[in-house]
Amino acid sequence: MNKKAVRTGVACGIFLGITIIAYAITSLFFTKSETSKLSKRTVFQFDLSTDMAATEVGPGDCFDVKPVIYNDATEEMYVFIQVDMPTAAHEALYSYDVDDEWCVVSEDDGTVVYAYGSTEMTILAPGDSTSALTNQMTMKSISNAEYAAIDDINITITGYAMGTEDMSTYPVNAWNECKTIGNIQ
């Protein structure tokens, strides 16, 4: 029985020794980490698409045009679309229906500026798009003589954007602030 007790004692000793060694190995653990000091870059840009195709247009003809602004920035923005077109008999050459989400903020001799928002500016969040300003334009029914006198029947659609922080939410005031910031005449 003495040998059995010795074996049991040796087995307990070995087990205790292994436990102590395992504890010593695990308690001798070390780790270290560092965190970067990066800051986010501000990206402020948008995409303007119009879906205009090259086509022949004469008096009374229609063509598709769907001006949409997509916020491809990291910040919220207020947006505007300016439509420049030739005039005939002191009137804009083209007529079109405007989506209810847009409102006129400036109009002068063939140039009309629209704000995205009806009574208050609508915030365009990153990744969002506006509704199309219009879907179609129609050249007014003018005489062929008036039509022949127009050198350039093309329209130009320009998009503008500005940040929303500390800006007016009233569309006309917001457009005036945008003109000041962008030095737009």
Q: 9-28: per-residue pLDDT in tens?
A: 777 778 777 777 777 666 67
What pLDDT, on the 0 to 100 scale, is given for residue 24? 65
- pLDDT tens per residue across span 96-149: 999 999 999 999 988 999 999 989 999 999 999 999 999 999 999 999 999 999
- pTM of the predicted structure, to 2 decimals: 0.80
Triad 169, 70, 56: Cα angle to 5°: 110
Taking the C-alpha atoms of residue 113 and residue 81, their distance in angstroms, rounded to an integer, is 6
Give mean pLDDT, residues 38-55: 91
